[in-house]
Amino acid sequence: MSSNLIKKVLIVAIPTYAVAILTEQMVFTMPMLAITTLIATNIYKDNQEPENRIDEDGEDGEDGNDILGDE
């Protein structure tokens, strides 16, 4: 298992469970879960480049769906 994954899980789990145990209320747990998830995903970039995808609907320059009905 990746050490970055373990660190991310700990960053999310420790504050979330601490808030749940200390307050004994779920209303504070969900915002803490959201905030720590954002923090954990932005700490390590994992050297991944964003992949640009192009959706090709038609063939030979044609569009996939003709909205106006022109043929």
Q: What is the pLDDT of residue 53?
A: 74
- Distance from C-alpha of 51 to C-alpha of 60, rounded to nearest angstrom: 25
Written as tens digits, the pLDDT of the chain (71 aa) is 678 888 888 888 888 888 888 888 878 888 888 888 888 888 876 666 667 777 776 565 555 555 665 55
Scan for tokens 């145990």, then name that residue. 21
Q: Between the CA atoms of 56, 60, 64 and 69, what dihedral angle is there, to the nearest 10 degrees?
A: 160
Domain segments of the chain: what residues? 3-43
Q: What is the pLDDT of residue 7?
A: 85
